[in-house]
Structure 1
Amino acid sequence: MADNAVKEGNTTVINVPEAVGVFDSLEAQQAAFYDLRAVGFHHSDISLLGSEKAIEQKLGKAYWRARDLEDDPKAPRAHFVSEEAMGELEGAIAGGFFFVGSFIAMAAMLTPASTLAASIAAIAIGGSPGAVLGTLLARRAGQHHKDYYAEQIRHGGILMWVRCRDKEREELAVRILKGHSGRDVHVHGWSE
């Protein structure tokens, strides 16, 4: 374990300060994230509260409020996933299933005896069920992402932590969090 790390039960915290803020909307939290990245904070220095399932597993709490977990080193963390990244994931899921279905149909129909029209029809027919399945799975992934943020807001807001290596970075993180309507913005002397 590093010299600046302290073990607290199953959680290791390090003696590097961390700014924390609570956001009432995904848009405000996202804007703060992008501004933090723009001024040089690394993606791994920024974390969000884990899912409700992770909170229940780690803390055994079925009911929680954001303000109760702001300074809890045992609160599970998650990485930020942008709306753009979710759109790319949804596209990859839907497109991948369309491609697999089309490929199977194409492989079955592209024999020397098949005609071009029959092959195109087989690809379209084979790809359509895959595209439908892919679209349904993509929507499910997108809905899960939206539900995560809605759940956080229902419990008092979207928590975001920012690891700060020095006093100047602390002040910068606090200024950015507050500048995007972050509530209860403060710094504690440790980070996970």
Structure 2
Amino acid sequence: MTNDAKEEHTTYINVPEAVGIFDTFEAQQAAFYDLRSVGFHHSDISLLGTQEALEERLGKAYWRASELEDDPKAPRANFVSEEAIGELEGAIAGGFFFVGSAIAMLAMLTPASTVAASIAAVAIGGSPAAVIGTILARRAGKHHKDYYENQIRHGGILMWVRVRDQEKEDLAVKILKGHSGRDVHVHGWSE
């Protein structure tokens, strides 16, 4: 009989980590930007992973933020700003418009085609593609919004910050608390 159970190994780093819980995305985002502005690297700042990652890693369909803030097995994710999501949405929608327009234009590049016909082909070919791109872009934005709403429903948005010395520890705690972070504290390890 073979054991197909996936054995998980969690590696801990002997670097302290500040943690706080935020009730709004805006407060958490402001804390992130302040941490970055005083020198914290984006790779030292993490958020709780997705619901799917939680269920896969911990087997918990229901959880509270306060239960996971000091759990080294809680899955982590990088912060993604609203600006980055907006850029992604623009790139998706614009990319689809460009591809549709380019295909239509290539089809019209014959010696017999006129400039007016080529412009019409670009507009006609790009419009349906732009609609598809817009739908996909909205879906990406909705996924981002749902991620934060799910965390707020479960007690708040978790944020962890690696702090390599006492000065950084004090600064991270001050910033997290300054942006209405709850239960802000430091534990002696990070993942």
Whether TM-score is above 0.5 comes out as: yes
Q: What is the CA-CA distance between 1:97 and the residue it aligns to?
A: 0.2
Residue 160 of structure 2 is matched in structure 1 by 161
Distance 2:9 2:133 in 1: 39
CA distance in 1, matches of 2:97, 2:159: 37
Q: Structure 1 residue 55: deviation in Å?
A: 0.2
Residues 97-150 of structure 1: CA deviation (Å, up to 9, x unaligned): 000000000000111100111111111000001100000000000000000000
Aligned match of 2:76:
77
Aligned-pair identity in percent equals 83
What TM-score do the two structures reach when normalised by structure 1?
A: 0.95
Aligned to 2:172: 173
**Following superposition of structure 1 onto structure 2, how do residues 119-134 of structure 1 map, counting pairs within 5 Å?**
119-134=118-133
The corresponding residue for 1:144 is 143
1:1-192 map, 5 Å: 9-192=8-191
In the TM superposition, what whole-angstrom CA distance separates every residue of 1:43-99 from its partner, at most 9, and x where no partner exists? 000000000000000000000000000000000000000000000000000000000
Matched length: 185
Q: Which runs of 5+ in 1 are unaligned?
A: 1-7
Write the distance in 1 (CA, Å) between the matches of 2:42 and 2:161: 9
Residue aligned with 2:19, SS:
strand
CA shift, 1:167, in A, is 0.9
Give the root-mean-square deviation of aligned CA atoms.
Answer: 0.9
Partner of 1:3: none
Q: Answer 1 or 2: which has greater strand percent.
A: 1
Quote the offset at 1:10 in angstroms: 1.4
Cα distance in 2 for residues equivalent to 1:171 and 1:147 = 32
Q: Which runs of 4+ in 1 moved over 3 A?
A: none
* Residue type at the aligned position of 1:41: F
Match of 1:4 in 2: none
Mapped partners of 2:188, 2:167: distance in 1: 14
- Supply the distance in 2 between the matched residues of 1:53 and 1:178 (Cα, whole angstroms): 29
* Residue type of the alignment partner of 1:59: L
Q: Tell me, in whole angstroms, the C-alpha distance in 2 between the residues paired with 1:187 and 1:9.
A: 25
> Matched residues in 1 for 2:95 and 2:103: separation?
12
In the TM superposition, residue 9 of structure 1 has moved relative to its aligned partner by 4.8
Unpaired segments ≥5 residues, structure 2 = 1-6
TM-score in terms of structure 2 length? 0.96
Distance 2:126 2:9 in 1: 48
